[in-house]
C-alpha cells in the first residue's frame, strides 16, 4: 500500500533508470485488483521493447495500476468540461464552410453530446489535449454521439465532410462510424442510427490524428443536416479523440462522374513496383448513365499524382506499373475522375498495399541456455514480414543483444543494451561468458532483433538465464516479514503466490500456492535459485505442507545445470500439516541444481499451503547451535546471551552438553537429559557479566554443543562478538596513595566536567535497519505495516512494522543503484547521507482487504542521560515537492522521563508540534532529573507521510556525584560520600595492590574507575633479578639509571611504571 504523488514519480520520469540484474528480496504487497496478500517472486521481465506509452499499458494489463491513475500521469492532470448534454439546441449554420477545431470549451459547446446508453461515460472536452474525447467504460460498449449543429445543405450541390480522429493510446483500439440525418432540430440517437452512412465503422489503432470523412456528398432534399460521430468502442479501452471538423461546399454536381474502382497488386519477391488497375465509372453522381462526360483519370500514391490516363471512356479498364520513387513501405492509392470540362468527380476508395521487401517479423521465440562457460542462443528462422509483405529469408540478419531493465514511472521493462553479435540467415549463436556462476543470483536478459534492407524491426524477442553463485546449504525459507529471502521464480501465468496465516512456525506467514486470480486452469510452478548440493553427504528437501481440498496436488521436480526439470516424486498431501522429506542425492554432481514445486490447478480452491522450506545436509544424528547476543554491553553490567540448540537430525537426541565461553574462559556448562526431537529447539540464557575494570573492546563469545553420535561437527560451535563500552560519565582524576604502618591513604580529585556532549547523526549505522540502532530505544506504538512512496519501487524496510528506519535516500533500494534526491530534494538528510525516518502506516483488517491508513505512534527514546537539566537540539523535516506546491507537515511530541523507558514513564514538554518544512532546528529544555527523552511521531492517518529526524545533540554522562566507590584488587572495599575525596585502607598484606576509585552519580551511573598500583614491601623482598631498571621519584626525577640494586633506597618511587613504596 502506498501514498503516491505525481511529483514523486519525477524520480522515474526524469530519466530512464538502469538496474543491475541481481537477486532481490521482493517484499509482499497488496494485490491491487483483488486486495489479496501476495508474495512476489524474483521478476523475469518479458515485456519486450515498448514505448513509454505501452509500458504503462502493460502495467494496467498486469494489474499494477488502473486507468484512472494512468490518465493522471499520461494527460498531465486533464481537466474536463461538464458540457455533455444529452439534448440541447445549437445554433443552425446557414453558410459554409463550417470549421470547428474544438480547441476551447466554447467551441466544444457548439456540439451536442448524446450518451445513448446512459452509462455516464461519453464525449467530454479535454483541456490539456484541446479536443473532444470519448472516455471508455469498463464493461459497456460505446454508444455515444458527438453531433454538429444543423448544416443547411441544398439539393443537387456537393459537400465535403472531414474530422480528425485518434486513439488516446495506440495499444487500446478505438472504433467509430459517422452518419448524417436531416432533422428540424437536434436528432435523437435512433434517428442518427437510421441516417446516411458517411464513414462505415472503422477501428483506429494509432494515436496520431488521421482525417476521416467523405467528399461529394449530395442530398436530394434541401434542409438542415446533422453529422454525428458515433463512438462504438469495445469495453475497457481508453479514449477516442476528435478535433478539426470541416464541412465545405464541393465542386461535384449530380452530373459529375461517380467514383472509379482501383486495384493495386505489389510485385513479387520484394520488387519495388506495383501493378495498378483502374476501371472508369459508368454512372454519374445522380446515378444516370455517364455518357461521354469523362475526360481523364488521375492516380495518386500517398497524395502524390503518379499517373494520368487521358482520354478515358466510361467503364474503360486502365493499367500501369508504378515504379518511379517507390520505397519499401505501405502506400495509399486512390483515383479521381474528371468530366469533359476538367472538373473533378468523386474520389475512389483508398487502397493500401505494402510494396517492396518488408521488414522481417521477429522469431516466434528464442532460448538462452547456460553452457557452463558460454551461453547458447537459438531461435526459429523468419520467412515473413511485419506487414505481411515479402522477405528473403537468406538476407535477414539477427542481432543478439543483452537487455537491461529500465524503469518508467515506477514500472519496469526491458530494453536493448549491448550488441553481442550479428548473424545472417542463422538460427543460433554462442557467446563466451565465464562469469555465469559468479556474484549474486539473478536473471540476465537477452534479445534477438531482426533486420534487412527494408529496415530494422523495432521490437525484439527475449529470453533469460539464471546466473550467479549457487547458494550453499543449508537454505531456509520461512517467508519471514512476508517476503522471499532468496531467488524464487514462478511461471507467472497459472500459479499465484499468496500469503496464508496458517503457519507452522507461529509467525503467521506461510505460502498459499494456488491458481492465479483470473488465470485459466493449468500447471503452475515455483522454482528455486541455483543450489550447490555437492558438499552435502545427504542433500535433502524438507518442508511442511497441507492440502486445501481433496483435489490439491503437488510434485517436486529437479534439474541439473539449467536442464529441463524432471519429476523426483509426487507429494502425498493431507488435511493437516506434515513434514515432507525429499532425497536430492540424484541431483549431485552438477555445477548447480534447482528444485521446482509443481501443481496442476483445476480450480482456484486447489491450493497447497507450504511453510518452512529447507534444503540441507540431513543426517540421522545432528545437533546444531546458534547464538544471539547484544552488540554492546556497558562495563559493569550483564549481557543476556541466548543460545539455541536445534536437532537437525532425524533421530531424537536424549542427552547433550552445552558449554559457554567468553574468550578462552569457560563461563558455564549445561548438561541436558531432556529429549530433543527432530527439528525441535531448546533455548538457553547465559549471563555474560562484566566489571567496571573491563577494558573497552571486542570479546568473542562462544557456545559449543556436544552429543554422542553426532555426525556433523561443522554446526556444533557458534560464536558472536560483543563490544564492551566504558561509561561516558566523567571519572575522578589524580588518584594517589601513601603507606604508613600498613595503612594506605588514597586521595583523588573530583571530575571537572560531569557530562559529555554528543551529536547523533546516524551515519555509523547500516542503512534501512529499524532495530538495534545503537543505544536508542524504538517503540512502534501503532504496529502497522509501513508504506512506500513509488509504485513498483520499494525501500528495503518497506512493508515491515517499525517506528523509525535509517533513511538513506541516495541508496533508496539498498543496492547502490537508485538516488531519489535530485527529483526530491526534501528527502536529503540534514547532514551526511543518512537520517532517521518515521513513515506512514496501514493495516489490513478482515473487512477491508484493500487496507486502510492509521495514525502514527512511533517513539524514539534516547540513551540514558546524566539526570541534570540540559538543552537538547535536533533537526526535523517533512516532505515538500521541489516546486513547493505540495507540503506534508507532520505532528510530533517531545517528552521526558525521570525513571524508566516505558511509554507510561514519559511526560510531554509543551503541546503537539508541527514540522515547518525544510530542516528546522528544534531546541527543548529538559528538567533536572531527566533520565531519558523521547521524540514521538503522532501524525494523523490523513496527514501521515514521512517524518525526518537528524543531528540530535544532547549531553551524556554523569550528573551530581552521590558517592565514590573504592576498590582494592578488583573488589569493592568501601564507599564514601560524594563530597569526600580521600579514603583509608587498612590491614593490607605486603604485596602489590591495585587501588581504584569510581564516581557514582545520582542517577545510578558509575564512571570508569581511575587506578593506582602500590607495592608495599621491605627492601629484601624487592628483586630486580639483575636486570637494569630506571628508578624515578614520584615527581619524575631520575635517581638511578639502569640500576641492578635497590639498596640504600626508601620511600615512594616509580619503578617499571609502578608506584612502589620501599621500606
Three-state DSSP class for 9?
Answer: coil
Task: Tell me if the bond preceding 456 is cis, omega within 30° of 0.
Answer: no
CATH superfamily label, 471-617:
Galactose-binding domain-like (2.60.120.260)
915-941 burial code (b ≥16 CB/10 A, e <16): bebebeebebebeebbbbbbbbbbbee
Residues 6+ apart with CB under 8 A from 574: 546, 547
pLDDT of residue 1057: 64
Three-state DSSP class for 942?
Answer: coil
- Alpha carbons 51 and 69: distance in angstroms, whole number: 18
pLDDT of residue 52: 37
Going by C-alpha positions, the residue among 841, 795, 788 that lies closest to residue 814 is 795
Question: Is the full-model pTM beyond 0.85?
Answer: no
Over range 798-819, report the average pLDDT: 93
Query: What count of other Cβ atoms lies within 10 Å of the Cβ of residue 585?
Result: 12
Taking only the tens place, the pLDDT of each residue in 566-597 is 999 999 999 999 999 999 999 999 999 999 99
- Alpha carbons 131 and 111: distance in angstroms, whole number: 12
> Binning pLDDT at 50, 70 and 90, where does residue 58 land?
very low
User: Please, are residues 345 and 381 in contact by the beta-carbon 8 Å criterion?
Assistant: no
pLDDT of residue 39: 53
Place of cell 516505558: 902
Q: Where in the chain is the domain with CATH 2.60.40.10?
A: 261-355, 366-467, 623-723, 961-1062
Chain centroid to CA 227: how far? 50
The CATH number for 261-355, chosen from 2.60.40.10, 3.40.50.300, 3.90.550.10, 3.40.50.720, is 2.60.40.10
Q: How are beta strands 717-725 and 632-634 bridged, if at all?
A: parallel
- Alpha carbons 546 and 523: distance in angstroms, whole number: 18
- Alpha carbons 64 and 59: distance in angstroms, whole number: 5
β-sheet with 274-279: strand ranges across: 261-266, 274-279, 317-322
Query: What count of other Cβ atoms lies within 10 Å of the Cβ of residue 1028?
Result: 10
Which CATH number is associated with domain 366-467?
2.60.40.10
CATH superfamily label, 961-1062:
Immunoglobulins (2.60.40.10)
> Binning pLDDT at 50, 70 and 90, where does residue 516 land?
confident
Q: How are beta strands 920-926 and 870-878 bridged, if at all?
A: antiparallel
Taking only the tens place, the pLDDT of each residue in 446-470 is 999 999 989 999 888 989 999 999 9
Q: Where in the chain is the domain with CATH 2.60.120.260?
A: 471-617
Which CATH number is associated with domain 623-723?
2.60.40.10
Taking only the tens place, the pLDDT of each residue in 231-277 is 999 998 889 999 999 999 888 888 999 999 999 999 998 999 999 99
DSSP string covering 551-577, please?
T--EEEEEEETTPPPEEEEEE---SS-
pLDDT of residue 409: 53
755-957 under CATH 3.30.70.250, yes or no:
no
Q: Where in the chain is the domain with CATH 2.60.120.200?
A: 98-253, 755-957
Which CATH number is associated with domain 98-253?
2.60.120.200
Structure-derived torsion over alpha carbons of residues 65, 69, 74, 77, reported in degrees to the nearest 10: -170
Over range 51-57, report the average pLDDT: 39
Taking only the tens place, the pLDDT of each residue in 907-952 is 999 999 999 989 999 999 999 999 999 999 999 999 999 999 999 9
653 or 78, higher pLDDT: 653
pLDDT of residue 523: 94
pLDDT of residue 411: 58
Taking only the tens place, the pLDDT of each residue in 345-367 is 988 988 989 999 999 999 999 99
172 or 1052, higher pLDDT: 172
- Alpha carbons 292 and 306: distance in angstroms, whole number: 24
Amino acid at each position: 500500500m502506498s501514498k503516491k504523488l505525481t511529483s514523486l514519480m519525477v524520480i522515474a520520469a526524469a530519466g530512464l533508470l538502469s538496474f543491475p540484474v541481481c537477486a532481490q528480496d521482493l517484499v509482499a504487497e497488496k494485490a491491487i485488483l483483488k486486495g489479496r496478500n501476495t508474495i512476489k517472486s524474483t521478476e523475469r521481465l518479458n515485456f519486450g521493447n515498448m514505448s513509454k506509452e505501452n509500458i504503462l499499458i502493460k502495467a494496467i494489463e498486469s494489474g499494477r495500476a488502473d486507468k484512472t491513475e494512468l490518465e493522471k500521469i499520461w494527460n498531465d492532470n486533464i481537466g474536463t468540461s461538464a458540457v455533455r448534454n444529452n439534448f440541447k439546441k445549437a445554433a443552425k449554420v446557414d453558410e459554409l464552410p463550417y470549421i470547428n477545431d474544438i480547441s476551447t470549451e466554447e467551441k466544444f459547446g457548439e456540439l451536442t453530446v448524446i450518451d445513448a446508453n446512459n452509462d455516464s461515460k461519453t464525449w467530454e472536452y479535454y483541456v490539456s489535449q484541446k479536443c473532444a474525447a470519448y472516455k471508455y467504460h469498463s464493461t459497456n460498449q460505446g454508444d455515444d454521439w458527438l453531433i454538429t449543429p444543423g448544416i443547411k445543405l441544398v439539393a443537387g450541390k456537393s459537400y465535403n465532410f472531414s474530422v480528425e480522429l485518434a486513439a488516446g493510446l495506440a495499444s487500446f483500439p478505438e472504433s467509430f462510424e459517422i452518419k448524417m440525418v436531416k432533422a428540424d432540430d437536434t436528432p435523437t440517437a435512433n434517428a442518427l442510427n437510421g441516417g446516411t452512412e458517411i464513414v462505415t465503422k472503422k477501428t483506429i489503432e494509432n494515436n496520431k490524428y488521421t482525417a476521416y470523412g467523405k467528399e461529394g456528398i449530395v442530398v436530394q432534399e434541401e434542409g438542415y443536416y446533422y453529422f454525428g460521430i458515433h463512438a462504438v468502442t469495445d469495453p475497457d479501452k481508453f479514449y477516442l479523440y476528435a478535433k478539426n471538423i470541416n464541412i465545405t461546399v464541393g465542386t461535384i454536381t449530380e452530373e459529375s462522374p461517380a467514383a472509379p474502382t482501383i486495384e493495386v497488386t505489389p510485385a513479387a519477391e520484394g520488387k519495388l513496383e506495383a501493378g495498378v488497375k483502374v476501371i472508369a465509372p459508368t454512372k454519374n453522381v445522380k446515378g444516370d448513365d455517364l455518357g461521354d462526360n469523362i475526360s481523364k483519370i488521375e492516380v495518386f500514391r500517398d497524395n502524390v499524382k503518379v499517373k494520368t490516363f487521358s482520354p478515358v471512356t466510361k467503364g474503360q479498364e486502365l493499367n500501369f506499373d508504378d515504379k518511379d520513387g517507390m520505397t519499401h513501405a505501405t502506400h495509399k492509392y486512390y483515383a479521381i475522375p474528371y468530366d469533359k470540362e476538367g472538373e473533378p468527380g468523386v474520389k475512389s476508395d483508398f487502397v493500401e498495399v505494402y510494396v517492396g521487401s518488408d521488414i522481417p517479423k521477429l522469431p516466434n521465440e528464442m532460448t538462452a541456455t547456460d553452457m557452463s562457460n558460454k551461453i547458447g542462443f537459438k531461435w526459429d528462422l523468419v520467412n515473413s514480414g511485419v506487414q505481411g509483405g515479402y522477405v528473403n529469408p537468406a538476407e535477414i540478419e539477427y542481432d543478439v543483444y543483452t537487455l537491461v531493465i529500465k524503469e518508467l514511472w515506477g514500472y519496469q521493462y526491458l530494453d536493448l543494451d549491448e550488441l553481442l553479435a550479428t548473424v545472417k540467415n542463422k538460427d543460433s549463436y554462442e557467446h563466451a561468458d565465464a562469469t555465469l556462476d559468479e556474484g549474486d543470483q539473478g536473471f540476465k536478459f537477452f534479445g534477438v532483433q531482426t533486420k534487412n534492407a527494408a529496415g530494422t524491426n523495432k521490437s525484439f524477442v527475449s529470453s533469460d538465464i539464471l546466473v550467479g553463485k549457487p547458494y550453499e546449504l543449508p537454505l531456509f525459507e520461512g517467508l519471514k516479514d512476508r517476503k522471499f529471502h532468496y531467488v524464487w521464480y514462478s511461471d507467472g501465468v497459472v500459479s499465484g503466490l499468496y500469503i496464508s496465516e496458517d503457519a507452522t512456525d507461529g509467525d503467521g506467514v506461510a505460502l498459499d500456492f494456488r491458481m492465479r486470480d483470473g488465470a485459466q486452469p493449468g500447471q503452475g510452478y515455483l522454482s528455486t535459485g541455483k543450489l550447490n548440493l555437492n558438499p552435502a553427504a545427504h542433500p535433502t528437501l524438507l518442508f511442511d505442507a497441507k492440502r486445501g481440498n481433496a483435489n490439491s496436488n503437488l510434485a517436486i521436480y529437479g534439474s541439473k545445470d539449467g536442464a529441463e526439470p524432471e519429476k523426483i516424486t509426487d507429494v502425498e498431501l493431507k488435511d493437516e500439516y506434515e513434514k515432507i522429506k525429499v532425497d536430492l542425492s540424484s541431483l549431485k554432481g552438477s555445477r548447480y541444481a534447482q528444485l521446482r514445486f509443481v501443481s496442476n490447478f483445476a480450480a482456484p480452491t486447489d491450493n497447497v499451503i507450504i511453510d518452512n522450506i529447507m534444503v540441507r545436509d540431513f543426517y540421522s544424528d545432528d545437533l546444531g547451535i546458534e547464538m544471539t547476543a547484544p552488540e554492546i554491553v556497558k562495563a559493569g553490567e550483564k549481557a543476556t546471551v541466548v543460545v539455541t540448540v536445534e536437532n537437525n537430525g532425524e533421530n531424537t537426541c536424549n542427552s547433550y552438553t552445552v558449554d559457554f565461553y567468553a574468550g578462552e574462559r569457560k563461563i558455564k556448562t549445561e548438561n541436558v537429559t531432556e529429549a530433543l526431537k527432530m527439528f525441535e529447539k531448546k533455548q538457553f540464557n547465559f549471563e555474560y557479566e562484566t566489571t567496571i575494570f573491563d577494558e573497552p573492546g571486542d570479546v568473542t563469545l562462544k557456545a559449543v554443543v556436544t552429543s554422542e553420535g553426532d555426525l556433523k561437527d561443522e554446526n556444533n560451535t557458534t560464536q558472536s562478538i560483543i563490544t564492551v563500552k566504558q561509561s561516558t560519565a566523567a571519572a575522578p582524576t589524580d588518584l594517589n596513595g601513601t603507606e604508613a604502618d600498613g595503612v594506605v591513604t588514597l586521595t583523588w580529585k573530583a571530575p571537572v566536567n560531569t557530562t559529555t556532549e554528543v551529536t547523533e547523526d546516524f551515519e555509523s549505522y547500516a542503512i534501512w535497519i529499524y532495530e538495534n540502532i545503537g543505544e536508542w530505544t524504538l517503540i512502534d506504538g501503532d504496529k502497522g505495516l509501513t508504506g512506500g512512496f513509488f509504485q513498483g519501487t520499494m525501500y528495503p524496510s518497506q512493508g515491515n512494522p517499525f517506528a523509525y528506519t535509517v533513511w538513506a535516500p541516495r541508496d533508496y533500494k539498498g543496492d547502490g543503484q537508485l538516488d531519489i534526491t535530485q527529483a526530491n530534494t526534501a528527502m536529503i538528510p540534514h547532514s551526511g547521507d543518512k537520517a532517521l525516518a518515521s513513515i506512514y502506516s496501514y493495516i489490513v483488517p478482515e473487512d477491508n482487504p484493500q487496507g486502510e491508513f492509521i495514525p502514527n505512534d512511533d517513539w524514539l527514546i534516547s540513551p540514558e542521560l546524566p539526570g541534570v537539566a540540559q538543552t537538547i537540539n535536533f533537526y526535523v523535516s517533512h516532505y515538500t515537492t521541489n516546486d513547493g506546491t505540495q507540503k506534508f507537515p507532520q505532528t510530533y511530541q517531545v517528552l521526558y522521563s525521570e525513571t524508566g523507558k516505558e511509554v507510561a514513564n514519559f511526560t510531554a514538554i509543551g503541546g503537539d508540534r508541527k514540522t515547518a518544512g525544510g530542516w528546522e532546528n528544534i531546541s527543548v529544555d529538559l528538567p533536572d532529573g531527566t533520565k531519558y527523552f523521547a521524540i514521538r511521531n503522532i501524525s494523523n492517518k490523513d496527514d501521515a507521510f514521512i517524518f525526518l529526524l537528524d543531528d540530535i545533540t544532547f549531553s551524556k554522562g554523569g550528573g551530581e556525584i552521590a558517592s565514590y566507590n573504592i576498590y582494592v584488587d578488583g573488589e569493592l572495599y568501601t564507599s564514601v560520600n560524594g563530597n569526600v575525596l580521600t579514603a583509608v585502607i587498612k590491614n593490607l598484606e605486603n604485596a602489590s595492590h591495585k587501588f581504584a576509585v569510581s564516581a557514582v552519580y545520582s542517577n545510578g551511573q558509575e564512571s570508569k574507575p581511575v587506578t593506582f598500583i602500590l607495592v608495599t614491601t621491605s627492601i629484601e623482598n624487592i628483586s630486580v633479578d639483575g636486570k637494569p631498571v630506571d628508578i624515578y621519584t614520584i615527581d619524575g626525577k631520575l635517581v638511578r639509571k639502569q640500576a641492578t640494586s635497590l639498596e640504600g633506597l626508601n620511600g615512594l618511587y616509580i619503578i617499571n611504571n609502578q608506584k612502589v613504596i620501599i621500606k
